Amino acid sequence: MPTTVRVSHVTRRYGPVAVLDDVSFDLSPGITALLGPNGAGKTTLLGLLSTASRADAGEITVLGRRADGPLAERTEIRRRLGFLPQEVRFPAGMTAFGFLDYIAVLKKWDDTAARHDEVRRVLGVVGLEDRPTIKVRKLSGGQRRRLAFAQALIGDPDLLILDEPTTGLDPEQRATFRSTLSERARHGTVLLATHQTEDVAAVCDRVIVLVGGRVAHDGDVAGFVASARDRVWLGERPVADAVATWRDPGGGVRSVGGTPPADAQAAPPTVEDAYLLLVGPRAVQGAA
């Protein structure tokens, strides 16, 4: 399987602070989740991969081109890259179609008819095909998020980098999103930075966890979940030294980590449990 992205000993500093510290991993076709608490360096890493910024040390190769290479190399990467930022500020007064059409031009779609066909296609993929002429400001939050996702799909990119794509989506929209991602994963590479661990469990093949600017875990999702086996408990009372505890819908208390009391029973772990155990109190603080 070809390597789409190669990150080799990458460090990125903001002043004296190393936001990314000697990070290395490869990406191949499929869906890889990027997890980590707030401030772990996820957005910085995505910025480097998308050629928006440059590493202070190390090397990043995307689709065979150096992400910190000359402009021609970076342009080649950008042509085959779909990127969805965490926050999208839409221009006032633009229609959904106009917004996507403009971005398609920025992605070098110079044939007007083909470009318009492509815009209609991605509108259909995100379920907005019946709303092309509506002003963006009149779309709901979830529709705007889908529109932002649609721009990342223009040109059927080989590499899709998504930063918190499902924020603001309702369950049905999230299911549609997962279907789209699953389809994409058949012939492309998707890097999904998210806090939604249920999305990771649903569609991702692999998970990378960043903690404090370093790779704390890199492996398949099943193995990641398995790392939490026999460390998640259901009981009557919270486990005193657990990383996190909360009320279970069954009436008991679910505890992640810690020393279980005698009456506690091991519960099947989830991605979220494994993440909490790996990241520890920082995850709980980050979520607060």
Under the binding rule (CB under 8 A), the answer on residue 103 touching another protein is: yes
Q: Residue 6, interface with another protein (CB under 8 A)?
A: yes
140 binds another protein, rule: CB under 8 A: no
* DSSP 8-state class, residue 136: G
Q: Is 237 in the site for another protein (CB under 8 A)?
A: no
Q: How far apart are CA 231 and CA 272, in angstroms?
A: 12
Number of residues that bind another protein (CB under 8 A): 49
Residue 53 CB, shortest distance to another protein, in Å, is: 9
Binding residue for another protein (CB under 8 A) from 12, 42, 78, 174?
Answer: 78
> Which of 86, 148, 140 shows the shortest CA–CA distance to 123?
148
Q: Does 242 bind another protein (CB under 8 A)?
A: no
The residues, any chain, with a CB within 8 Å of residue 37's CB and separated by 6 or more, are 211, 279, 282, 283, 285, 286, 287
Q: How deeply is 225 buried, as exposed, middle or buried, from its count of CB atoms within 10 A (0-12, 13-18, 19+)?
A: buried
* Closest approach of another protein to the CB of residue 216, in Å: 24
Residue type, 255: S
User: Nearer to another protein by C-beta: 153 or 283?
Assistant: 153
Residue 54 touches another protein, criterion: CB under 8 A: no
Alpha-helical runs (H) found in 108-255: 112-125, 141-153, 171-185, 197-203, 221-226
Distance from C-alpha of 76 to C-alpha of 97, rounded to nearest angstrom? 25
Find the binder of another protein among 33, 44, 99, 213 (CB under 8 A).
99
Residues that bind another protein (CB under 8 A): 1-6, 50-52, 61-65, 71, 74-76, 78-81, 83-85, 88-94, 99, 101-103, 105-112, 148, 151-152, 158, 161
